[in-house]
Structure 1
């Protein structure tokens, strides 16, 4: 089973619109072409689909994603409009991967750059984990860890301590994927009796400079995506970059 994660396209209704360091639509097309070559079984889009938050930008994204040779799912980021996303393609919270479960979490706080699950969504996650002990992969937009960039760490998942406390009771959670940071990340998060692999993904749009105290673009880096190969209860994951 091969999953591919893409994230943070920041699309505009105008395909020629520029970001700080490129043209998001062009980068989106190039990344999707590379993803198709990976022959994925599932593609996960982990938020910030749109920058201008227009219905047209989501329609463009949906049309492009529908060209993929496999099913795909998406979750909202802090820039996204849930109703506009839902109008184009369903927002689901779980996908059955046979041997694995894929759980998709909404960490959006309306009008804020940071994320939060809150008591209700944490309780719902606990209930879902109680129901099934298969190996589980969680996808969320906001990072539940510090990535080492001061300004970005301030706008990650605000209730991360409660999140990790919850996961300490459910050793079937093996992998967490996040977006938002516009950079690659890979670490193992240690809990009392287990370790969880936590992965960030390069953006489709601008890349952010790792380790920066203040917002900064990494002009030396390139758009990319993350591949996750699931083999029984084991997995491998790596990042691929795309030449634009």
Structure 2
């Protein structure tokens, strides 16, 4: 069995004591990572919006905390991130080994914009990478490729999701997609000719967004969390864990 844990949307500041709308991002990330350690993961992926203020110091905080994990960890950029600063500390990998599976990273970020878009060049490159192996595959990206039921969030989702789904048609090995950006637990399903691809959203390590809200709203009753993804053979089990702060 391979245990992957996803955390996302840390929104850290250079100031380690900075507040978010509903808490303290660095303190909450530290608590989430400490909880993840007890899960004994094989791999941890941080799926974007590591920083809020796009400073080198914010990434240094994240790198320090994530490096306390006793397993390999990886990260990718979100719409709030400056990926060149991330890469100064740790590479952003496109392809990550998951035992008999692959974890393939897709960059959905558009510089200067909150919404996501792959564009034809990145879709073509994704198709090339998927063509390299028929092993079961997880995709991970920051922006969700499905509507999540909140008008304001859906307006800044993945703009060319239809093109992505069309590109995935020939690849039945793609079983699921992990995404960040939505700051909430989410499960959606996209039927394709070769089967159904499941899309999983993840709570933030900082503020949670109120599910089903047409306008921006924080869910003050919810807590930070992470997603556990256990893979055994060609099957998986996944769930959300919440962390008391």
Which bracket does the TM-score occupy, shorter chain normalised?
over 0.9
Q: Mapping of 1:30-179 within 5 angstroms?
A: 30-179=31-180
SS at match of 1:103: strand
Q: Mapping of 1:10-25 within 5 angstroms?
A: 10-25=11-26
SS at match of 2:153: helix
Listed as ranges, the gaps of 5+ residues in structure 2 are none
SS at match of 2:29: helix
SS at match of 1:85: helix
- TM-score, structure 2 as length reference: 0.98
Shift of 1:91: 0.8
Shift of 1:195: 0.6
SS at match of 1:225: strand
Residue 208 of structure 1 aligns with which residue? 209
Listed as ranges, the gaps of 5+ residues in structure 1 are none
Distance, in Å, in 2 between the alignment partners of 1:193 and 1:40 is 30
Residues 101-158 of structure 1 deviation map (CA, whole Å, 9 limit, x = unaligned): 1101111100000001100000001011111000000000000000000000000000
Shift of 1:63: 1.0
Shift of 1:237: 0.4
Shift of 1:6: 0.2
Shift of 1:92: 0.8
User: RMSD of the alignment, in Å?
Assistant: 0.6
Distance, in Å, in 2 between the alignment partners of 1:54 and 1:85 is 10
Distance, in Å, in 1 between the alignment partners of 2:133 and 2:188 is 25
Residue 239 of structure 1 aligns with which residue? 240
Distance, in Å, in 2 between the alignment partners of 1:173 and 1:145 is 16
Residue 191 of structure 1 aligns with which residue? 192
SS at match of 2:57: helix
Distance, in Å, in 2 between the alignment partners of 1:187 and 1:155 is 17
TM superposition outliers: structure 1 runs of 4+ over 4 Å: none
